[in-house]
């Protein structure tokens, strides 16, 4: 079942917002751009939502049908306590969402842990994923940079704005960048369970097998974009992805963990150069 939530405006573009009723819970979906253009699915990271892509979307819709989803437990999607928040299950739901939208082939881009979900989707549905773009996605837990300031305890939930800014602070490195209020609000909409279960699911997936090893056997074109000043994942680890045949790896100086927010124009240039080569229209 699909329920229309109406239209939103992102830049000069009209975005159709709707809700897909899946077995595990309702999934919020946004679509922007021509419906007959090649599909580009954008998957956000942990403790984030479709809103993290807002500034990037208008730069992509000239050549793509841009589809964004709030993963279960995030944003405006359902936040049930029962279902699994493991990466393969989040990937399964993303695939089901594309099926419901009538999308048979898509380039899939993921930011941070969204890149792990994109990888799992390609593993599960190689018929669906034509190419992948990973933005500041750590290749394995060996590349993770721990931070004590990121700890929020159950007794502190829901957190204050100041706690959230400390929690999210390592996600940005550009001087003077201020985290948009709407992103803080959407983190607060999560439950403590969905936050911790999602983060544990990412850790489990990366510890089971590193992403470059998973991607190397899939035979899909790969673009890796990494902010060189990332404070969550060592940017030098981007080189790990070169084991994937033909992988393109690009470091962005002066940017941190979230180039999609810190400098969407520069991120879009890299992404569009890649999709121009690998985009596939539906038959």
Residue partners of 18: CB distance under 8 A and separation at least 6: 2, 3, 4, 5, 28, 29, 31
Residue position matching structure tokens 């990937």: 91
pLDDT the model gives residue 13: 61
pLDDT score, position 149: 62
pLDDT at residue 1 in the model: 46
> Please, which residues have CB within 8 angstroms of residue 182's CB and are 6 or more apart in sequence?
51
Which residues, 6+ apart, have CB-to-CB distance to 282 below 8 Å?
Answer: 36, 38, 39, 103, 104, 105
Segments of the chain with pLDDT less than 70: 1-13, 149-151, 283
Q: Return the pLDDT at 277.
A: 96
Give the per-residue pLDDT at 192.
94
Which pLDDT value is given to residue 12? 46
Name which of 137, 167, 128 is nearest 257 in CA terms. 137
- With a CB cutoff of 8 Å and minimum separation 6, the contacts of 128 are 95, 98, 103, 104, 105, 106, 121
Minimal CA–CA distance to 201: which of 45, 24, 51? Answer: 45
Position 178 scores a pLDDT of 87
* pLDDT per position as a tens digit, 233-270: 999 999 999 999 999 999 999 999 999 999 999 999 99
CA 188, CA 177: separation in Å to the nearest integer?
20
- For residue 84 the two structure tokens come to 């699994």
The pLDDT, as a whole number, for residue 91 is 98
CB 118 within 8 A of CB 93: no
Q: What is the rounded distance in angstroms from the CA atom of residue 263 to the CA atom of residue 254?
A: 10
Is the separation of the CB atoms in 62 and 68 below 8 Å? no
How does DSSP classify residue 169? G
pTM over the 0.85 mark: yes
* Structure tokens, 130: 């034509």
pLDDT score recorded for residue 183: 87
């Amino acid at each position: 079942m699909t329920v229309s939530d109406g239209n939103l405006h992102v830049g000069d573009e009209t975005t159709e917002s709707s809700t897909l009723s899946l077995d595990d819970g309702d999934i919020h979906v946004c679509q922007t751009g021509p419906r007959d253009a090649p599909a580009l699915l954008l998957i956000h990271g942990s403790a984030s939502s479709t809103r993290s892509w807002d500034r990037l979307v208008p730069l992509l819709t000239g050549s793509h049908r841009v589809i964004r989803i709030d993963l279960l437990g995030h944003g405006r999607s359902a936040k049930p306590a029962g279902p699994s928040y493991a990466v393969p299950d989040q990937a399964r739901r993303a695939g089901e969402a594309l099926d419901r939208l009538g999308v048979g082939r898509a380039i899939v881009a993921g930011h941070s842990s969204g890149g792990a979900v994109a990888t799992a989707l390609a593993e599960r549905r190689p018929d669906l994923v034509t190419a992948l773009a990973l933005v500041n996605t750590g290749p394995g837990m060996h590349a993770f940079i721990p931070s004590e300031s990121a700890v929020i305890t159950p007794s502190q939930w829901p957190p204050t704005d100041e706690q959230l800014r400390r929690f999210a602070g390592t996600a940005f490195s550009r001087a003077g960048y201020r985290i948009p209020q709407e992103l803080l609000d959407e983190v607060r909409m999560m439950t403590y369970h969905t936050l911790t279960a999602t983060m544990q699911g990412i850790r489990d997936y990366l510890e089971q097998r590193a992403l470059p090893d998973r991607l190397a056997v899939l035979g899909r074109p790969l673009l890796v974009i990494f902010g060189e000043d990332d404070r969550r994942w060592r940017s030098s680890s981007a080189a790990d992805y070169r084991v994937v045949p033909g992988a393109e790896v690009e470091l962005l100086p002066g940017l941190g963990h979230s180039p999609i927010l810190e400098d969407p124009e520069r991120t879009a240039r890299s992404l569009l150069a890649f999709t121009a080569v690998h985009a596939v229209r539906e038959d």
